[in-house]
Structure 1
Amino acid sequence: MHASSSRSSSTHNRPDEHRDRTSPLHSEGKPPSHAPSSSGLTLVATPIGNLGDFSPRGAEALASADLILCEDTRTTARLLTERSISARTEALHEHNERQRIPGLIARLQGGANIALVSDAGMPLLSDPGFRLVRAAIEANVPVTVVPGPNAALTALVLSGLPPHPFMFLGFPPPRSSARKESFAKLHAAERAGLSATLIWHEAPHRLAETLADMAEIFGPTRPCAVARELTKKFEEVRRDSVGELAAFYATTPPRGEITVLLGPAEPEQTSEDDLDTTLRSLLETHSVKDAAALAATAAGLPKRTVYTRALELAAEIKAAKS
């Protein structure tokens, strides 16, 4: 979750005593070099759609690397060709990262300069690399970053939803039952006090179903935004209630890279109708016991009370089907 901090007034009144040792004026008044390290691991952000967003520092980091680790070497090759960068590339993805770490750490400890990129955006965020970074830190290998484009933050500032606090959650589970359970846990956290704009990435073919599940668990009136093809020619951001967006995408299949944002919940008391709606949705894919437990947590109500209501609803549903 994003958080901000403020400086105390004493920092402004006595700057010499409170200046951070990493300040640009440290080390005899000379600014530090912003060039990538001559050895170690450098995380390099890459464009999320528009190649013009690639920074000079990013290009320098890749051009000076002994090795570039890529999610997909073919995708990275297009970026390297665009900037006339000739460097060795190797694949690092979720299926081989764990096995490759020992060899990569040995090379880094031997003085190699290795860059890590994902197909688009900031490495590690819904992409491979976290295990390697942790291993490098534990091995005391220098790790730095060249920041740049990020789809979640780009979508956030375009959404019109509160920009902070926010919570980035990666991709929701691909199956509806698991998605609803994940959403129910978040809704429970909101009942306990969480108030943040929630952000996910989603595949185009699952968008309509995911929005429908959100509408069931969080309520159809929650403010929502769907950002598509950010920084590209057909960039689009649709802003509406989650229920209306679910209905729109059910009849208008989307294309491209998608980010979904759900606005914070309004403070409210859970009504009986809200509880029944949640229980009916969960009973479609869960046992009475599990549905009651999830709904009780989400609503902040006693489990025994919710279980009794779940039994009643389950009986009504069974009778309606017979």
Structure 2
Amino acid sequence: MLRVLAFVCLSWVASSAAAQDRPLAEAISVAREGECLTRDGLLPHLRTWLERDAVDARLGVLVEEDGAGARFVVLHDGEPTAARRFDTLPASCPDRRAVLALAVALAIDAALLESLRPSTEAGPAEDATAPSPPSSPAARLELAAEAQLLIEVLPEVAAGWQVGPRLVIGEVFELAASAWLTSVSGAELTPGRVSSQLAGGRLDVCLRRSLGAVWLRGCGGAAAGVAIGEGRDVSNGREAMVPFVGLLARLGLGVPLTDWLALELSVDGWIALLRPRFDLIDPASGAALQSVSLPLGGGVAALGIVVRF
């Protein structure tokens, strides 16, 4: 089977390789020729088995008789590529030469097939050595600043501002911390009015997913700080600060503008866990005449810029 496969391959390259062949008689060498083992005695059998009178110029075979047996080495560009040893061979010289010539012919065909193999593997080898694209850093920093529109977070629609750093890990995981401040929002009382404002901080844990050049962010976090309230148009109106705590869930879309600057659109859901309440107190009795509590839940729409380091 090996001889058939070798013959097909040799036939395919015969026309282009003819200039690189040399006569079989030049490729075969016999060390210490004897009465039975000679190059001239092997050549007729080799021509029969190989069905040609020439071999690749890079190949050579050294044959040596060894007592009752023999051995040979196949050379490729002067370097040994295959060897075989026969401890015993047929006693008659014709049979001995025929058996040894068959083994040498098979070894020549196998060596030629081996020499053709690197050309078929050149493509993968080149691919393996091709430089890989630069990988993203394991962790990097971003600085985000945004303007917000708050609905049902304060008694009236209000504006907000948020700024803070982010730690992005592996372009998938993110930790974000921000300072948060809102505009003053009021609520009507009878008589007078109460104004309120939030000031605090926010901490988010996010997951990211890149979609081509843009990315999506899904975050869950908490905000805490103080709600600042002050009575207006009432006698003895005073400023009061009451703590607040809330949970937020965010969905954001980032669009890069340059390598280091991006635009980000976000929408938050807000749930108040600790709701500040402001009371209108009767100066005479000290009883609460009216109360205003911040809404239980609301939403935040934000537009911001992100500086990527």
TM-score, with structure 2 as normaliser? 0.16
Greater strand percent: which structure?
2
Greater helix percent: which structure?
1
